[in-house]
Structure 1
Amino acid sequence: MEWVTGLYKDLHQHPELSGAEEWTAIRIALELRRFPDWEVTPKIGGHGVTAVLRNGEGPTVLFRADFDGLPVAENTGVDYASTHSQLDSTGQRVPTMHACGHDAHTASALGALSIIDATRDRWQGTVVFLFQPAEEASIGAHGMVTDGLRSIIPRPDVCLGQHVVPGLAGQVLSAPGPVLTSSTTLEITLFGRGAHASMPHRAVDPVVLAASVVMKLQTVVSRELTPGKFAVVTVASVEAGKANNVIPDSARLTLSCRFYEESMRSRALDAIKRIVRSEAAAAGCEREPEFKFLGRLDATDNDESVFSVVRPHFDSYFGEDSLDMEPWTASEDFSVIPRAFGAPYLFWTVGITPRRQWNRAEKAGRLDIDVPTNHNPGFLPDLSTLPVTSKAAAVAVLGCLGHQWPDAPETWSTDTGAASGVDAAAVRRAKVETSPAN
């Protein structure tokens, strides 16, 4: 499946920010032209794209892939590294990078689509591939739904998705139940009283107040919430002042909060508001702080019934590389799609770190240092994992269609291989590349 690698490198070199993925959406649509039997609909919720193949009576299975990048300057050293830049939402030109693997998600989804297309004589039903923009801004899935997605594609019986993560390359990890946290983004504005920097006694300094608030918020998880219940309250940004001789009259904090349970979210937000108001009162602020909710995502809670269908296929095909997924502390808007249709879903992860690098770092106790995480300038999927992510998606889709996955890749139908890029030899090579010897 060398064409998937070529596509991935092209996408990797041209990352685009959330809501501004015009080139990427066009690139996806052009790739889909190679599959003339698929109904392609572009420009859903901005730059969203769907592709539908109807192949007789049977279940409808949806697979989703996201494709936006991040405002990160890449530092991977590969010859296909991004040197791209783009205007952000404030009009500032910033470097862009696929620092979360969405380029791999997209290329792999198209690889899986080619497998589904080539094996259509072995399954019946309808398959939907959904390519989603603006995941990093947490608005892409909702934007596609509000732009009429439910009237554009057939209602799915099940929805599927995956994400690449740091971990041994080629390992496919899945689990039922909560696997990704809910996310709440909160902006807090503190109102002090401005003055000359040489006259702090005439001011109510919002910078000092912000510092007090940041420190006090560190007690929310440790002292307000039940021990053993997962919660994260991160102060992601603090902004105040623009001149060295001015005490500003306000400060702004942005919080990122993550939870698995709604009860923990409610208790944490109550504590945050109480602490902020109390600190402002203690500082002598005359105006109440303002709280603005910038976004919320529900937890990703995998359906047991979908897991019970897909996991045996993962175990059968990937063997010892099919493992249990530990709950991840990040959040995703993937579940917005199945919730819009009332459909059950499964979301899994695939490890992308070269095995030698991972094993060496693990042995030295330096995983956090030597293995870049998502959103890090050095984050880069090992190329050998691209066939794995393509096949994981195809295995899951075909499993949900009621297709019994062949034991050997040589048994795949390759009649349309020239058009789809799928052939048994390429699949065999991909299998060897992801062996434990890597």
Structure 2
Amino acid sequence: MIKPGLALLACLALPAIATENQLASAIARDYKATLEPLFKHFHANPELSYMEVQTAARLARELRASGFEVTEGVGKTGIVAILRNGPGPTVMVRADMDALPVEERSDAPHASKVKMKDMSGTMVPVMHACGHDAHMTSLVGTAHQMAARKGEWKGTLMLVGQPAEERTGGALDMMADGIFKRFGKPDYAMSLHVIADVEAGKIDVSEAPFSGADLMEIVVHGIGTHGASPHMGKDPVVIASQIVLALQTVVTRDIAPREAALITVGSFHAGSKGNVIGDSARLELTVRSESDDTRAKLLAGIKRVAENTARAAGMPEDKLPEIRHTDRPVPPTLNDNALMQRLRGVWSAKLGEGIFDKGYQRGGMVGEDYAHFIYGQGIPSVYFVVGATPAEQVAAARAGKGTLAYNHSPLFKVEAEKAIQTGVLATTTALLDLMKK
């Protein structure tokens, strides 16, 4: 029989270590008392990027109540919460706050029904389809545990609520607002993300948890004419189609096979009528990489392929494709290897090897603008992922017997109790080691 105080450890498959038992039990009690209703509130009341006004206010209120000094309006709607506990290292823990323009179709009783105007004035449905509600709740849970354990650590804890991660601009805005000049440059930094294809109650940490991303467009020029007389013009649809296909050879022939690289053309707009050859086409694409060298090769290859495909079609030099960024690039999120190995050892020793989802294999190349906080700053950082989906569903998907509603899906749903408690447990355990007396 499992004793009541060890129930959380049993469901997380953690070893019976007295200190960690006490921490896990405290987190479980806090979840039932405060974190569960807080998560449901965040989930039912999502706000879009740069519009997280009520979200930021609620997060600020929760952190103030935990004893932190909170500054709002950092980088537009961002917040910074500081808890000083004597001399020692400064450690930053960041959570993102924004939601997505997605209409929720999950069966959660607290599912979002929210609609709001986006930055263009269009009314759209809004959902926490990426798990930022769980991130914020985990941040508050970590604040509770660290405030209650001030006798076990020293230094300055900096908790950050970041806006506009989904638009990849919030971290840059907080940096431009002088976050480190105003509140101190961290000695260490951490963040977490819930992931659908990791088992709830487990975590994973790797060298490159998130890729760099460039958001771009290519405007392909043509010469308009009648659809019955293509020889009288230059068809931009054909030229653009050739560019789309040729771009795939940049990845497969310019980049080493074991180097992470991806070019995705996600949008192709052209034409107005079936018997009209227009004078332009527009491609929207994302370019993903995990090193500066690979990124440079990809960007150079895109320019080479686009311009020379147009030249081969007979387009004059003044009508070659225009290639430009549509948003600020995001560098890759690369974990500091020494810090990663240190925390992996801490988690393994204190929480047991069962905390790691050893069946998880990172397959995608998702971008994350957290990297702007650490890129080129010399701050050792670790970003880890936390499972969001029940174990049986993950196992079925890995066996090819089921599918998962991945992050950004209207069906995405976090198994909040395990995910949030695991996030708080892993983060607090790491902080108590980094800031130990």
- TM-score bracket, normalised by the shorter chain, equals 0.7 to 0.9
Residue type of the partner of 1:24?
T
Q: How does 1:131-280 map to 2 (within 5 A)?
A: 131-166=161-196, 167-175=198-206, 177-197=207-227, 200-242=230-272, 246-280=276-310
Residue type of the partner of 1:21?
E
**What SS does the corresponding residue of 2:180 show, helix, strand or coil?**
helix
Q: Equivalent residue for 1:349? A: 385
Q: Equivalent residue for 1:292? A: 324
CA distance in structure 1 between the aligned counterparts of 2:376 and 2:208, rounded to whole angstroms: 18
**What SS does the corresponding residue of 2:382 show, helix, strand or coil?**
strand
1:139-171 Cα shifts (integer Å, max 9, x gaps)? 111100101212321221111111111211111
The answer to whether the Cα contact below 8 Å between 2:217 and 2:285 also exists between their aligned partners in 1 is yes
Q: How does 1:47-58 map to 2 (within 5 A)?
A: 47-58=77-88
TM-score after normalising by structure 2: 0.86
Q: Equivalent residue for 1:5? A: 36
Q: Equivalent residue for 2:408? A: 375
Q: Among residues 57, 61, 68, which one is paired with 1:26 in the alignment?
A: 57
CA distance in structure 2 between the aligned counterparts of 1:308 and 1:223, rounded to whole angstroms: 34
The answer to whether the Cα contact below 8 Å between 1:160 and 1:397 also exists between their aligned partners in 2 is no
**What SS does the corresponding residue of 1:297 show, helix, strand or coil?**
coil
Q: Among residues 336, 339, 343, which one is paired with 1:306 in the alignment?
A: 339
Shift of 1:387: 0.9
**What SS does the corresponding residue of 2:329 show, helix, strand or coil?**
strand
Instruction: Tell me if 1:124 matches 2:154.
Output: yes
Shift of 1:244: 5.7
Instruction: Tell me if 1:393 matches 2:427.
Output: yes
Shift of 1:101: 0.8
Shift of 1:230: 1.6
Structure 1 segments unaligned to the other structure (5+ residues): 404-438
The answer to whether the Cα contact below 8 Å between 1:158 and 1:338 also exists between their aligned partners in 2 is no
**What SS does the corresponding residue of 1:170 show, helix, strand or coil?**
coil
Residue type of the partner of 1:398?
L
TM-score after normalising by structure 1: 0.85
Shift of 1:196: 4.8
Shift of 1:221: 1.4
CA distance in structure 1 between the aligned counterparts of 2:293 and 2:131, rounded to whole angstroms: 32
Q: Percent sequence identity over matched residues?
A: 36
Shift of 1:322: 3.0
Shift of 1:201: 4.3
CA distance in structure 2 between the aligned counterparts of 1:209 and 1:233, rounded to whole angstroms: 18
Residue type of the partner of 1:322?
I
CA distance in structure 1 between the aligned counterparts of 2:279 and 2:45, rounded to whole angstroms: 41
**What SS does the corresponding residue of 2:405 show, helix, strand or coil?**
coil
**What SS does the corresponding residue of 1:62 show, helix, strand or coil?**
strand
CA distance in structure 1 between the aligned counterparts of 2:225 and 2:118, rounded to whole angstroms: 32
Residue type of the partner of 2:85?
N
**What SS does the corresponding residue of 2:428 show, helix, strand or coil?**
helix
Q: Equivalent residue for 1:109? A: 139
Moved more, 378-387 or 140-149: 378-387
Q: Equivalent residue for 1:333? A: 369
Shift of 1:301: 1.6
Shift of 1:339: 3.9
CA distance in structure 2 between the aligned counterparts of 1:97 and 1:284, rounded to whole angstroms: 47
The answer to whether the Cα contact below 8 Å between 2:194 and 2:419 also exists between their aligned partners in 1 is no
1:204-238 Cα shifts (integer Å, max 9, x gaps)? 22222222211221222122222222211101212
Distance verdict in 2 for CA 1:226–1:309, change over 3 Å:
closer
Residue type of the partner of 2:426?
A
The answer to whether the Cα contact below 8 Å between 2:63 and 2:143 also exists between their aligned partners in 1 is no
Aligned residues: 398
Distance verdict in 2 for CA 1:304–1:228, change over 3 Å:
closer
Structure 2 segments unaligned to the other structure (5+ residues): 1-30
Instruction: Tell me if 1:60 matches 2:90.
Output: yes
**What SS does the corresponding residue of 1:257 show, helix, strand or coil?**
strand
